[in-house]
Amino acid sequence: MTHFVRPSTAADLDDVARLFRGYLEFYGRPADPATTREFLAARLADGDSVVLVAEVGGAVVGFAQCYPTWSSLSLARAWVLNDLFVDPAGRGSGAGRALVRGVLGAARDAGAVSVSLETAATNRAAQALYVAEGFTRDDEFWAYSAAV
């Protein structure tokens, strides 16, 4: 199956918002249609994130959202692959793999030296994909977070 991965445009906002709601629901988070659409529109308008979409037969079946940042330890640009989701109907088609490869290529083209990500400990399918595409689990640093 042929996949076309490209940067998202304003014309993709409704499709990406639909997929973003699916992503949030997958992780058990609230997915209000208006709120998710506004969040994505703001990220794109402000240039806060890079959103790629995967198309199959002209239909948007998946998206990836990355946040460019800096790595102090590398003294270089780095990207965080924060969100990746493929519509259930598009799973198994290779769209997820195409998106991961698209993210890695776009990050490299933007001068980033690394792409990092987190996924649920139970998300075995995503873990297998990321490992197959060259990601390694970090056993040197532990991730922490705090609500503020």
Confirm whether pTM is higher than 0.75: yes
Q: For residue 129, how many other CB atoms are within 10 A of its CB?
A: 17
CA distance 81 to 100: 9
The CA radius of gyration of the chain, in Å to the nearest whole number, is 15
Domain boundary assignment for the chain: 4-132
pLDDT tens string for the chain (148 positions)? 677 999 999 999 999 999 999 999 999 998 899 999 999 999 999 999 999 999 988 899 999 999 999 999 999 999 999 999 999 988 888 999 999 999 999 999 999 999 999 999 999 999 999 999 999 999 888 888 898 9
Domain 4-132 -> CATH class: alpha beta
> From its phi and psi, is residue 103 left (phi > 0), alpha (psi between -120 and 50) or beta?
alpha
Place of tokens 């800096």: 70
| 3-class DSSP assignment, residue 56 | strand
Beta partners for residue 60, in sequence order? 55
